[in-house]
Chain A
Amino acid sequence: MQHTIARRSAKSSAMRMVALALGVILFTAACSAPSDSPAGGDAKPVESVTLSGPNPVLTLDATAAGEIASLLAIYLGQGQLFRFDADQNPVPDLAKSAELSQDGLEMTITLRDDAKYSDGSPVRAVDIKTAFDRQKKGAVASYLTSMDSVEVVDDKVAIIHLNATDPDVIRWLTGRALPLNPTDKVTNDPKYFEHPVSAGPYVVKDWTPGQSQLVLVENESYVAGPMMAKTVTIVGVPDIASRVLQVSSGAIDFAWDIPLASASSLPSTVSATAGPIGGYNYLAVNMAKDTPFADPNVRRAMSLALDRAEISERAFFGQAPAATSFMYSCGDLCESGLLPNAGKLDLNGAKSLMAKAGYGTERVSAEMLVSSSRPGWSDAALVISEQLRKIGIDLEVAPVDEATWIDAVTKSNFDVMFSGGAAPAQGALQQIFASDGWWATGVGYKNDETTKLVAEAGRTRDLAERTALFSKIQKIGQETMPMITVLERVELVASTTPDGLLVRPLNSQLVNVQTVAQAKAGLRAGEHDK
């Protein structure tokens, strides 16, 4: 009976199924939009570029922004007094000039006469004061520590009053700390930052908090415009594999935080560049706990036992430079070679130090936390664990998510961790050597001398003196070993845009977009005629 029923219907059912399947495939193929091909290599403006990282834009309010996508949207979509050039030097944007007084305690900022917001209203000096007062209670109030207040002289002139000399004052004001917005709108509209106007190169066209993408269109009022990209879209793609696929297909034009492992599998149309982001990967131990790691000899031994080249090779495909000092390479300010043995492997030296600390035969065991979401970090932790076993230290690698890691440091609830940081040079120094910061408190590092020296370095304007102070602090670090710097942090960026259209300033995670003037002069985004 089954055969009878089957004969009657099987053939027609099968034909129907095949026809349906073909129909679905043909329909979707016809409806699929062709992927955007990147713009050509010569200087023609492109209609749009899509930038992507792991997170979507969460906020456009600089006082509450912490992650890269939001900071980038703010950097491109709001006015800045200064912008970073390709070498991460602040250059005037809305500011016509910035003059420091003789005693270094007053900075007079004069705005450009033609500085306007996208709605046509002028940028005024009071907007600087508003941004400053808000940020003094905001996410990066620590950037403004040396600044007390802003005095408005007239519509175009404001004076920033400092409580101590600070050679980095303009650098602190660039990027995330002080984007400018109209005072009346900021103070009167509680939802202003959902649809801000802009005095920057772009203005928000389409965004609602919670959306995965934000669209910026060119701001015709921008002082340095027009731009080479008419529209910029910032989209969050949390899944790494999806992000790689999207940049490979051209759905995304520029993506950061791409795994180094995928560099070789990207198609030839994608340019993959591993660049420094102004940070370092490090091992930190909890010095507040009564463990063998509280002994600086043990920490120095750990540093000497690390084969940094091997860690870079196995975890980061040889792209991350080995650290030789506590700081990353930051130009003239940062001397290299200040780690024990300049960061080179010295297994015998490490074993001697362990013996000196009383652990020549006794093994030391602990748990090592590592963030599981960062490409390569878990691998690096495993390699480190392997290497330290040779000097009698057994570290069990425990991958945790970012939130758990932050909690562990805040509560000093860890033994050892492998992690990474990124900060401007002075900020990096503060992070490692000043005892009153969040990180130093978490790892239990207390050193009055380095704390004092860090504050002094923050006030010293003379480059030679500053460099000497940085060096002195790090030499004390050789003795006290607050952290064991392992590698300089690099991040892989994949791009299908024409060369020079989008440039990340050195040691920064922000992005500059090329202006038409730069393109005509043969300059890349952020570069300027010197």
Chain B
Amino acid sequence: MLKGIPAAHRILGIVAHAAVVSLTVSVIAFALMRLTPGDPVLILLGDVATPEAAARLRETLGLSGSLPEQFQRFIFGIFQGDLGRSVSYGVPVTDLVMRGMPVTLGLMGMTTLIAVVLTVPIAVYSALRPFGWFSKMFMIFSALLISTPAFFLGLVCLLVLGLWLQIAPIAGIGTGFFGALEHLWLPSLVICASLVPVMARVLRASILSTIREEFVEVAVVRGVDSMRLIGRYLLRPSIAPTISLLSYIVASLFAAAVVIELVFNLPGIGTLLVSAVNSRDYPVVQGVTLVSGLIVVIVTTVGDLVTALVDPRTDIE
């Protein structure tokens, strides 16, 4: 067994934890949606619909019956892998989620990649020259970027880069891998605008702390190559907090993705969720929150495992 990797029974515990969290979040969504005013059938059919037509559709969509009956159907459905049918689209929720998931995961993945690619050099350079102009500019701009709302920044980027300069697509996802890449780089960069400053600051602080360690001084005196010095002697001991932070940030990317998907008109599950909330599409809201709960737990657990691998000092046991 690798050091830092928990035993099988711990893994089972993690899986059970993920299931409980997802189920709890989904149950909360079930309750909140039904407490919110609005009848999904009337929203769907409009105000010219007769009460009989509305009742028929309610029956077809499984929205008839008391709340306990609906709740029972919902819970039993989850254990059978059936998340119900969308009120608005009339298709299985699973189909909708599976269709939107690649877009959202692609956005989250690309955001993570860009965040890592930008964070490390910025943090390292800033830590190595803590009183230089770069470090000072970084501190100022990072505060500015963190405080700028993502939707505003997204719209400005769309206007400047998409409309005026035409170097980025305005909306949609494109086709194929490169099409997706072309459409996701700008939304990912917008999300990174508030993530990278936070992560870079944490990593910078960690490097500044590590740089004072004796082993680093010894390495310098021994004339260790600069890239090896930075990679092995500075980054590796410093990166654990950043990886932990990254895993929680990635998990919370879903919330950022909701706003960004709307602004950039990406057909991910964020857009699906907003549309479902507006139209009171209960099954879709419940299904998406269940899946997002699973994603959050999986990502944070993976983050903990990677941290343990990178820095065995942080053993999750």
Contact = CB atoms under 8 A, between A and B. Distances in A.
Interface of A: 1-6, 8-10, 13-14, 16-17, 20, 24-25, 28-29, 31-35, 55-56, 58-59, 63-64, 66-67, 137-143, 208-212, 237-239, 241-242, 245-246, 248-249, 251, 373, 401-404, 406-408, 410, 413, 421, 423, 427, 431, 438-439
Contacts of B96: 210
Given A137-B56, A210-B99, A32 B43 contact: no
A133 to B, nearest CB: 13
B278 A402 contact: yes
A28 B89 contact: no
A374 to B, nearest CB: 13
Given A16-B121, A212-B271, A139 B53 contact: yes
Contacts of B112: none
A18 to B, nearest CB: 11
B72 interface: no
Contact of A31 (B39, B158, B178, B229): B178
Contacts of B166: 32, 34-35, 249
B182 A139 contact: no
A31 B86 contact: no
Nearest to B118: A17
In order of increasing CB-CB distance, the 7 nearest A-B pairs are A403-B38, A8-B226, A66-B46, A407-B37, A6-B128, A209-B89, A210-B96
B49 A142 contact: yes
Given A13-B121, A208-B91, 18 more contacts: A5-B226, A6-B128, A20-B117, A25-B167, A28-B168, A58-B88, A64-B90, A137-B53, A138-B53, A143-B48, A210-B272, A242-B155, A245-B155, A401-B278, A402-B43, A404-B38, A408-B37, A410-B42
A32 to B, nearest CB: 6
B280 interface: yes
Contact of B262 (A32, A35, A67, A242): A242
18 contacts: A2-B130, A4-B220, A31-B181, A35-B166, A56-B275, A58-B88, A63-B53, A139-B53, A142-B49, A209-B89, A211-B99, A238-B265, A239-B265, A242-B264, A245-B171, A403-B37, A406-B38, A438-B47
A4 to B, nearest CB: 6
Taking residues whose C-beta sits less than 8 angstroms from the other chain, chain B's interface range is 35 or more
A208 B91 CA distance: 9
Nearest to A21: B118
B141 interface: no
Nearest to A56: B275
A403 B280 contact: yes
Interface string B214-231: 001100100000110110
Interface string B166-177: 111111100000
Contacts of B117: 20
B162 A245 contact: yes
Contacts of B100: 210
Interface string B32-48: 00001111101111111
Nearest to B49: A139
B285 interface: no
Interface in B68-96: 86, 88-91, 95-96
A326 B317 CA distance: 73
B17 interface: no
Contacts of B91: 208-210
B232 interface: no
Contacts of B44: 58, 64, 66
A58 B37 CA distance: 22
Contact of B182 (A31, A242, A373, A431): A31
A242 B171 contact: yes
Contacts of B263: 239, 241-242
Contacts of A138: 53
B39 A28 contact: no
B50 A142 contact: yes
A249 B162 contact: yes
Given A13-B124, A64-B90, A251-B171, A403 B43 contact: yes
A210 B124 CA distance: 45
A441 B258 CA distance: 38
Contacts of B53: 63, 137-139, 141
B185 interface: yes
Interface in B243-301: 262-265, 267, 271-272, 274-275, 278-280
Contacts of B95: 210
Contacts of A9: 124, 128, 226-227, 230
A212 B267 contact: yes
Contacts of A242: 155, 158, 170-171, 262-265
Nearest to B60: A64
Nearest to B169: A32
A53 B53 CA distance: 26
A406 B42 contact: yes
B57 interface: yes
A371 to B, nearest CB: 11
Contacts of B49: 66, 139-142, 438
Contact of B50 (A67, A141, A238, A413): A141
A59 B38 contact: no
Contacts of A59: 89-90
A427 B125 contact: no
Contacts of A410: 39, 42
A434 to B, nearest CB: 13
Interface in B130-182: 130, 155, 158-159, 162-163, 166-172, 178, 181-182
B271 to A, nearest CB: 7
Contacts of A5: 128, 211, 220, 226, 229-230, 234
Contacts of B170: 35, 242, 245-246, 249, 251
